Homo-oligomer: A and B are copies of this chain.
Amino acid sequence: MYKGGYAGKILRIDLSKQSAKEETLPEELAKNYLGGAGFGIKYLYDEVKPDTPALDKANKLIFAVGPLTATGASCSSRMAVVARSPLTGAVGMALAGGQFPAEMKRAGYDMIIIEGKAEKPAYVAINDGEVKFRSAEKLSGMMTTDTQLFIKEELGDHNYRIACIGPAGEKVVPMACIVNERRAAGRKGLGAVMGSKNLKAIAVRGHKRPDIADAESFRKARQAMNKAMKDSPVLYPHFAKAGTPMVVDAMTEMGIYSIKNWSATGQINMVPGLGLKAQDEMIITRSHCHDCPVGCSQVKLVTSGPYAGYLSEGPEFETTYSLGSTVGVDYLPAVIAADRLCDEYGIDTISAGVAIGWAMELYEKGILTKKDTDGIDLKFGNHAAVIEMLRKIAYQEGLGALLGQGTKKAAEKIGKGTGDYAMQIKGLELPAYDVRGAKAHGLNYATSYTGADHNRGYAFQEIFDIPIPEKVDRNATKGKGRLTKWNQDTRAVTCDCATMCAFLLDMAVPAIACQNTADLVNAASGMNFTAEDIEKIGERLNNVARLFNIGAGFSRKDDTFPRRLMTEPIKAGASKGQLISQKDLDEMLDEYYAERGWDKNGTPTAAKLKELGIK
């Protein structure tokens, strides 16, 4: 039995009945799924039929933290948010950091399961185990910052931490996100699921501290982790200063920074406007998640020009791409403004930006005209147009209503071969890495259970040249099946289940991540995981998620790329000529499935499921 680390309780909220009940955290769940995404996806798999329409009240929205959250372990104030995704139809899982996850744990819960649908807009306030349902009618249509302020004032305590949706979530825009302060569970439209339940926000306030089973061992394990972080040649010397934007320069050099809807990768150098130096100049302070000694998150503020006054925690690397390079904008103040507006409307910066970039390409090709755009001159580089389109996406106005459905559905509607340029996999828009020149990134995009998601099995080996678990050639395809399985499994457990920050894994402790996680969790909880157990949990999670997706109709045919990536080589730069052909993909998939113990169609074999103890 776990003796610490966990809060030990699950809160199940039925919005239809406005009722809440507590359940004891099952020992078996902790042992087999550790926490966070493991908990959420296991419950999704057990309790939600995979063909449930994502915006139906039968879908569930689950918030889950990890066994280290709020224990004082570095970088562990993160949570997984889980539901069937309205954007992809697959498992929807997104992580968020900030202060909310630690506060949720301190309010007494490892997991909050939201069921049903409130009759009228509502929010839930949770204070040390006391749950209140409150009307959110007056909050309808409110931006996320104002929403949080009004709820705090109404509750009479501004120290609540709040996760909420903006206007886009209320309007169930399939790329809507969930925002807590300046952080978001950004991708896969989980904000729309929240909106479909008429749930405007969850407010949490807690004063409990999780017990620690073995304080001395925990201290040592923390020290070991902190030492690994200090020893990293990247984490403090570079990353703590430069944050994720440091990757913009690196990837530009590698020729894999995607530009203008992936039509101009390597042809244009946007670094003068968007790179490290430009970003550095706009930083006013750094922001730390709870219990984070690094503070990679940069707060940037525009102090002059047309966007003066806009502040965002970001744009981090991905948003610099989605609201910058892929829409052809290299004016950083405009990216900051667009980033803030996405947070306020509650829409995913990546999907929104990529959808606009795609529409810009169609506009430049003449497939869309000013008649379609309500007169907006939707050329690449027109940042005022980007900002106007974001509003249209959030409020489902004109072309925005279509783009908000995601590029996959929008391309089906527009037809004319536009799907070839819709940069999405399984309906999820592609992150910044032009995978034609980073094949493990590509295989991960193709196979991630959430769609094209860099966070599910990030191939840091291809970017930082770290030879763990082995040295790789980013343009090679061979070996990428094995590598991708390892990346996905270790990341799933350390980041998504233990809810430790991904950057730790990438930059500090990749070689010892599973052992470190085991040491920390064992010390905190009194359990007895080995490093192998830990990695196995990651594998188990990836298999359960795959089973859900198979039930939802996904199979090998969906583990693929937009046609552009398989037919148009990168035209210039250090990755010139690179491409992922159908043959490349097939070879990588065959290897990957074999490594996973899945059949040729990507279905887990009975033997594998038995090995993992999945029914």
Residues of A within 8 A of B (CB): 138-143, 145-146, 149-150, 152, 157-159, 166-167, 181, 284-285, 299, 301, 303-304, 306, 308-309, 311, 344-345, 391, 394-395, 397
Contacts and interface: CB of A to CB of B under 8 A. Distances in A.
Nearest to A152: B158
A244 to B, nearest CB: 20
B157 A284 contact: no
Contact of A284 (B140, B152, B181, B394): B140
A149 B159 CA distance: 11
B146 A311 contact: yes
Contacts of A394: 308-309
19 contacts: A138-B284, A138-B299, A140-B284, A141-B284, A141-B301, A141-B308, A142-B301, A142-B311, A146-B311, A150-B285, A152-B158, A158-B159, A159-B159, A166-B309, A167-B303, A167-B308, A167-B309, A306-B391, A309-B394
A145 B145 contact: yes
Nearest to A148: B149
Q: Which of A140, A301, A394 has the most CB of B within 10 A?
A: A301
B157 A309 contact: no
Contacts of A311: 142-143, 146
A304 to B, nearest CB: 6
B158 A391 contact: no
Contacts of A308: 141, 167, 391, 394-395
Contacts of A299: 138
Given A145-B145, A308-B391, 8 more contacts: A138-B299, A141-B301, A141-B308, A143-B311, A146-B311, A149-B181, A158-B158, A167-B303
A306 B159 CA distance: 33
B159 A304 contact: no
A141 B139 CA distance: 29
Contacts of A395: 304, 308
Contacts of A344: 309
Nearest to A137: B284
